[in-house]
Structure 1
Amino acid sequence: MTLGELVRLAEAGQVRALEVVSLPGSHYLVRAQLAERCLTLHDARGSSAHLRSTGEVRELLGNWPVLQKLPCTLVQHVAQDEACAVRSGPIEPLRMPFRLGAA
């Protein structure tokens, strides 16, 4: 999904929420949660858009009022929990509210 498609889907009321997923190496992906599936934001080449910081996420998405109105969550997996195997059972990622507008 391109940025234009994301905006069109949001304007049509089809996007329920956004997720900013933190990846190792200081990269971030943006995912849109629709009723029946999740879509990842892609760049002009059709590859997943790897943004370099939360500031870059805000620069890209923060100028769209329709996107600012959506609930947005920063999702970060805690590598230490996975590496140390301290807890048993499934390890859930850290989920924090994230504002697309000015921080």
Structure 2
Amino acid sequence: MTLAELVSRANAGQVRALEVLSLQGGRYMLRAQLADGCQTVQDRRGKRYCLRSISEVRALLGQCPVLQALPCALVQYVAHDEACAARSGPVEPLRLPLRVAAAPGS
């Protein structure tokens, strides 16, 4: 899904929330939660956005008020927990609420 498609689907009420997935190497990937699952947001060439900071995420999403109004979470999987099997059962990722709109005065 491109950013334009994301905005269009958000305007139509089809996007439940946004996820900013934290990847190794200080990179972030944007996903949209839809009724039928998650979709990665891609650029015009069909490649996923690989953002370098939360500030870049905010700059990208901050262009569209409809996206700023959606719930957003920073999602980080903890590889150490998976590797060490410290917990029994499935290991859930760390999910932190993320404010998309830039803070006033920044």
Q: Which TM-score applies when normalising by structure 1?
A: 0.93
- State the identity %: 66
Q: Which residue identity is paired with 1:48?
A: R
Measured after TM superposition, the shift of residue 31 of structure 1 is: 0.7
Instruction: Point out 4+ residue stretches in structure 1 off by more than 3 angstroms.
Output: none
Find the aligned partners of 1:17 and 1:11 in 2 and give their Cα distance: 13
CA distance in 1: counterparts of 2:55 and 2:83, whole angstroms: 28
In the alignment, structure 1 residue 8 sits paired with structure 2 residue 8: yes
Aligned to 1:44: 44
Amino acid aligned to 2:99:
R
Out of 40-49 and 76-85, give the one that drifted further.
76-85
Partner of 1:68 in structure 2?
68
1:83 Cα deviation from its structure 2 partner: 2.6
- Separation in structure 1 between the aligned mates of residue 84 and residue 37 of structure 2, nearest angstrom: 32
Q: Deviations over 1:7-63 (max 9, x none)?
A: 111011111111111011111111111111211100121011111111110010012
Structure 1 unaligned regions, length at least 5: none
Give the letter for the 2:75 counterpart: V
TM value normalised by structure 2: 0.91
Tell me the equivalent position of 2:87: 87
Q: How many residues align?
A: 103
> Over the residues paired in the alignment, what is the CA RMSD in angstroms?
1.1
The aligned residue for residue 56 of structure 2 is 56
SS at 1:55's partner residue?
helix
